[in-house]
Amino acid sequence: MNPVERAGLGLLRRIDPERSHGLALRALRLGLVRLPGPVTGPRLQTRIAGLTLPNPVGLAAGFDKNATAVAQVSRAGFGFVEVGAATPRPQPGNPRPRLFRLTEERAVINRFGFNNDGADVIADRLAARPDGVPVGLNLGANKTSDRRAADYARVLETCGPFIDFATVNVSSPNTERLRDLQGRAALGGLLEGVMRARDALPRPVPVFLKIAPDLDDNDLADIAAVARSCGVDAIVATNTTTARDGLRSPLAGEAGGLSGAPLFARSTRVLARLSQLTDAQVPLIGVGGIGSPEEAYAKITAGASAVQLYTALVFRGLSLAADIARGLDRLLKRDGFENVAQATATRREEWL
């Protein structure tokens, strides 16, 4: 982290977290943040679900909910970028305050509730984005919808022509009963609708499924079976957790999803178990608690073909993406791997 970035982060941490995030996005759009451009190399280049990534380090959904800074984050060193979540209709989300920093524990609790500008507005912004790294969209459902499963297909129909992949988000804890859609029957029906919408696009895109870390072994087995039967192109493991194990912060009692360092072990165990359940036949994207090259590498060796991060950027700055990608290159070289695929799941058993 350079001195300017360190000073900027220090100032942003002194104000309300949600307002701080808005200011960070504005600074990006105004060109006030130094961006390294593509970070790549022979060991880092990655293929997943038909996509070619310059490196396997992605930006998770939530950072750029409304696709207002796609051009800028695509030049921040990430190998791929996910925006959203988007819902068919715009919605304000849950009442504020709804974002809380747990600084000593390098964690965040949020209960946003899919606040976004709606699929039509987001589609217009995505249509105007420049070429660059692959850009995907996190699909969500409106809180007041009586046909939530159909909402996912509607967003994909609207935004699909302008994205490189779509992620079905049935794992946010901040929309009441949304996680019920992870059940075997409900999930199968939802995914069938999404796949029909995908197949009708002028250019069909890969569909990913993002799951919660708070699932038992039977739930994971059901999800793995449904994902394979429906032809899901990758599983994103995992979203935020409702657990608060070991937290000491006075903010630990706030409702919402917990992300950041405390999620790392829980999400990595889920990742490794999914790798085992799918017999490595469905690519996995590891998310949850990544804040260093070593943690990204641990996700890969546990079963991930690529990784995503967000919360660590709050504490380490946007330059962390390039730092992790370069660090991954060094770790792959150290261990004699020619690419990420060779390292994937090589230490999975340590997490089972």
Helix ranges restricted to H, the chain:
3-12, 17-29, 70-73, 119-127, 148-159, 184-199, 217-230, 264-277, 293-302, 311-316, 320-334, 340-343
- The terminus-to-terminus CA distance of the chain in angstroms comes to 35
229 catalytic, yes or no? no
Question: Which residues touch 164 (CB under 8 Å, ≥6 apart)?
Answer: 51, 80, 134, 135, 136, 205, 206
- Which residues sit opposite 330 in a β-bridge? none
Closest CA to 231 of 49, 60, 86, 84: 49
Q: Confirm if 210 and 140 have CB atoms less than 8 A apart.
A: no
CA 13 to chain centre: 23
- What are the backbone dihedrals phi and psi of residue 82, each rounded to the nearest 5 degrees, phi first? -120, 125
State how far the alpha carbon of 313 is from the alpha carbons of 218, 291, 321, in Å.
33, 8, 8
Q: What is the maximum span of the chain, computed from C-alpha positions, in angstroms?
A: 53
DSSP string covering 40-106: --TTT-EEETTEEESSSEEEPTTTTTTSSSHHHHTTTT-SEEEEEEE-SS-B--SPSP-EEEEGGGT
Q: Which two tokens stand for residue 260?
A: 């950041």
Of 20, 74, 171, 172, the catalytic one is 172
Handedness of CA 239, 116, 122, 109 (dihedral sign): negative
Question: Which residues touch 335 (CB under 8 Å, ≥6 apart)?
Answer: 343
Active site residues: 172
